[in-house]
Structure 1
Amino acid sequence: MLERIGITNFKAFACQDVDLAAFTLLTGLNSSGKSTVLQSLALLRQSHEAGLLDEADESGGFLLNGELVRLGTGQDVRHESYTEEDPDITLAVVKDEIRYAWRARYGREDDLLGLLEAPSGPTSWATRDLPSLFGHGFQYLKADRIVPDVSYPRSHDAAVRRSFLGARGEHTVNFLRAHQDDTITAKSLQLPEMPSTSLREATDYWMQRLCPGVNIETVGIHGTDTVRLSYGFGSGVSASNRYRPTNVGFGLTYALPIVVACVAAQPGSLILLENPEAHLHPQGQTWLAYLAVAAVSAGAQIVLETHSDHVLNGLRLAVKDGRIPASATAVHFFRRNGQTAEVISPSMGPDGMLSDWPKGFFDEWENSLEQLLD
C-alpha cells in the first residue's frame, strides 16, 4: 500500500506531502489541489506504461499527454511560485517507509519532461516494488466519465488483457461482458441477498443500492467492434422491457464504472476515483461510500475525491459500525493560500468523529440553516 505522495513544483503545489491510507478521502473547494494528487499518481502510471520511468536518460521523463491524463505542456503544469534554486518538478511515493522519487526537467513547451533523477536499481524495480501503482489492478476514473449512449467500444487489450476500465470508464461495458462470470470471492463485496457470487450479479445488486430493481445486460454487436448496454427493472413476471442507456436516468451510467471498479477490486489494487457521487441521489452517494469501504476490506487501496458530505458521512458511519478501522482512513481538506494550496488533515476516531472541522469543510448546511433561522 502507498503511504504517502510527495509533490514539488507541480500544478497546485510548491511542495506538499499527502499521507495516504487504505481509504483516503480528498475534499475542498474547487481548484484547491485535490485533482493534482490523483493526476500525480496517474502521471507516474502513464509514464511508466510508456517505459519512461527507468533510470534517468535523455529519452525518459513525465509523459504529460496520454491515455490517463492530458495535461498540456510544461508551462501548464509547473507551479507558478517555483524558485530558481529548485525549478524542476518532482513526484515521489512512499511505500514500506521507502521513498521513490522522480525529478524531471522543466521545459516550457515540452509535453515530455526529461527525467533528471529516478530511483536507482534494475529497470524492473518499479513493477516489483510498487505493484499497486505500476502493476495489474490499477484503475483511474476521472470526473468526465461515460454518458448514456447507444454503444460502447470493445477493446480486448483494455478490457481483457489489462482489465482496465478506461480513464473515462469507456471500457466498463466490455469489461462486464468479458468478465461477467468471474467469481467475487471477497465476503465484504457479497451482499446477503445475492443469488450468486458472479461479477454480473454483484454489479446488479450494488447498482440496486443506487436504483432499486435495476439490472444490467451487456452484449456484443455482431459485425462491429462495439458492445451494447441495457437496463431492466424488476424480475420474473414483473420484469420490465430492456431500456437503452439514453432512455434511463443519467446517473446510472455515470456511476456504473465506479461500481464495477470497486466490485472487481482485488487485493493490492489501487483505485483512484474523482467525484463518484455525481448525478446520484444522496442515498446513492452514501451507498457508494459503503461500496468503496467494501472494496478496501477486500484488499484494495482507494483514493477518492469528493464534494459530497454524504460520501464523507458514509465513511464515518462505516468506521463507527466497524466495517473499517479508523486507522485505515485519511481525510484531507484542501484550500488555497495565496499562490499555493494547503492541506488540513483531521483525524478520525473509532466513533466516526473528526478531530477538526475547519472553515469551508462541509459546513454549508450549517451556514444556510443559520441564515434560515435568523
Structure 2
Amino acid sequence: MINNITLKAFKSFLYRELDLENLTILTGLNSSGKSSIIQSLLILDKAFKNEKNLLLDGHGTESDLKNKNSKESIELSIEIDNVEYSIEFPNNKETFKANLFPRVWHISANRFGPQLSIPISNDEGSKNMIGKNGENVLQCIRYYDSINPVSLDESIKHPDATSFTLLENIRTWLKVISPNVDFNYEVIDISDSSYATYDGFRATNVGFGLSYILPVITTLLVSTFEKNNLVIIENPEAHLHPKGQTELAKLICLCAKLGTQVVVETHSDHVFTGVRLFAKENDFADKTLIHWFELDENRNTDVTTIFIDNDGRINEWPLGFFDQFELNHSKLI
C-alpha cells in the first residue's frame, strides 16, 4: 500500500507530504491541487513501469508542471510499505521494480456518458482492464463473467444479489441507482466494440447516471479480485441522485476495507456523509483520511488533513468544507 506521497515544486505545491490510507478523500475548491495529487500518482505509476516520456499522456511539459514560485527541481516521492522512492525532473535516472507499485485503475471525470458503442481492446493482455474513460468496461465484465469467472468476496456481495458473480452484483448495485433496471451487454469482437442496454434500451436512450456509474462500480468490484490494487476515481457522484451517491460511498468503503486502496476526488457532501456513516457502523475510521485543499495568497496549495472518529464525527471543519447547505439553509430560516 502507498503510505504517503511527497510533492516538491510540482504545480501549485511548493512542498507537501500527504499521508494516504485505505480510503483517501481529496476535496476542496476548484483548481486547488486535488487533481495534481492524482496526476502525480499516475506519473509515478509510469516511472515504476520504466516508461519513457513520463510527462506525456496529457500531463504536459516540465514547464507546465513546475511551481512558478519555486526555484527547485520538480520532485515526486512515494512511500510504499514504509520504503521511500523518488523521481526528479528533468534528469531522473531512477529505475524501479514495476511490481512494487500497485496496479492502478483510474476512472477519470471525463469518462464516457451514454454511447451507442463502447470501444474494446483487441490486446489479449488488456481484456481484463478498464480504461480511464470507461473504455473496455464491457469486455472486462465478460472476461470475469464467462472467460475467467471469479467469485466476489462475501463482504462486498450486495445483500440483494442472488450469487457471488461479478455480473449479478453489478446488476444489483445498478438497481440501487435506478430501481429495477435490467442491465445487459454485448461484446462484438469483430468490430472491437461493445454496447450496454438498460431495460432493453441502448444507453443513449436512458439517463446519464447509469453510463457514468457503470465503470466505477465495475472497477471497484474487479479491483478486489487481486491484492495490491490502487483505484483512483474522479467525481464518482456525477449524475447520481443523493441516495445513489450515499450507496456508492458504501461500496467504495467496502472495497477499501477489503484491501483495495482507493483515492477519491469528490465535491459531494453525500459521498462524504456516506463515508462517515460507514466509518461509524463498521469500525473503519482509522482506515480513512480526508484532505481539504485551498490556495494561499500566492496560489500555492495548503492542505488540511481531517480525521473521522469512531462515531463518524470529524476533528475539524474548515470554512468552506461541505458547509454550503447549512449556509444556504440559514438564510431561509
The corresponding residue for 2:223 is 265
Alignment pair present for 1:65 and 2:23: no
Name the CA shift for 1:222/1:302 in 2 (closer, same or farther; >3 Å). closer
Alignment pair present for 1:174 and 2:174: no
Calculate percent identity across the aligned residue pairs: 34
Q: Which amino acid aligns with 1:302?
A: V
Aligned to 1:336, which of 295, 299, 324? 295
Alignment deviations for residues 167-221 of structure 1 (CA, whole Å, 9 cap, x no partner): 1111212211222242233122111221111111111111111111123212123
TM-score, length-scaled by structure 1: 0.84
Alignment pair present for 1:313 and 2:273: yes
Q: Which amino acid aligns with 2:280?
A: K
2:257/2:284 contact within 8 Å kept:
no
The corresponding residue for 2:130 is 165
The corresponding residue for 1:326 is 285
The corresponding residue for 1:98 is 83
Tell me which structure has the larger Cα radius of gyration: 1
The corresponding residue for 1:255 is 213
Taking the aligned partners of 1:270 and 1:80, their CA distance within structure 2 comes to: 30
DSSP 3-state at the match of 2:209: helix
CA shift at 1:162, angstroms? 6.3
Q: Which amino acid aligns with 1:306?
A: T
The corresponding residue for 2:180 is 213
Q: Which amino acid aligns with 1:295?
A: C
DSSP 3-state at the match of 2:84: strand
Aligned to 1:127, which of 89, 98, 122? 98
Q: Which amino acid aligns with 2:23?
A: F
TM-score, length-scaled by structure 2: 0.94
Deviates more, 1:207-216 or 1:138-147: 207-216
Q: What number of residue pairs does the alignment pair up?
A: 328
Alignment pair present for 1:347 and 2:307: yes
RMSD: 1.7
DSSP 3-state at the match of 1:273: strand
Aligned counterparts, 1:230-245, within 5 A: 230-232=197-199, 242-245=200-203
The corresponding residue for 2:329 is 369
Taking the aligned partners of 1:36 and 1:2, their CA distance within structure 2 comes to: 16
The corresponding residue for 2:62 is 74
1:12/1:79 contact within 8 Å kept:
yes
Structure 2: segments with no counterpart, 5+ residues: none
Taking the aligned partners of 1:74 and 1:128, their CA distance within structure 2 comes to: 27
1:265/1:298 contact within 8 Å kept:
no
Alignment pair present for 1:196 and 2:154: no
Alignment deviations for residues 89-118 of structure 1 (CA, whole Å, 9 cap, x no partner): 11111122221111112xxxxxxxx42x53
Taking the aligned partners of 1:95 and 1:222, their CA distance within structure 2 comes to: 39
Taking the aligned partners of 2:194 and 2:81, their CA distance within structure 1 comes to: 42
Taking the aligned partners of 1:294 and 1:157, their CA distance within structure 2 comes to: 31
Taking the aligned partners of 1:156 and 1:361, their CA distance within structure 2 comes to: 44
Q: Which amino acid aligns with 2:55?
A: L
1:10/1:89 contact within 8 Å kept:
yes
Name the CA shift for 1:215/1:263 in 2 (closer, same or farther; >3 Å). farther
Alignment deviations for residues 122-147 of structure 1 (CA, whole Å, 9 cap, x no partner): x5x522433x1xxxx42011100011
Name the CA shift for 1:43/1:162 in 2 (closer, same or farther; >3 Å). farther
Higher helix share: 2
Alignment pair present for 1:138 and 2:104: yes
Name the CA shift for 1:73/1:222 in 2 (closer, same or farther; >3 Å). closer
Alignment deviations for residues 54-85 of structure 1 (CA, whole Å, 9 cap, x no partner): xxxxxx5x52222xxx02222211111112xx
The corresponding residue for 1:150 is 116
Deviates more, 1:222-231 or 1:344-353: 222-231
Taking the aligned partners of 1:222 and 1:190, their CA distance within structure 2 comes to: 30
1:184/1:190 contact within 8 Å kept:
no
The corresponding residue for 1:238 is none
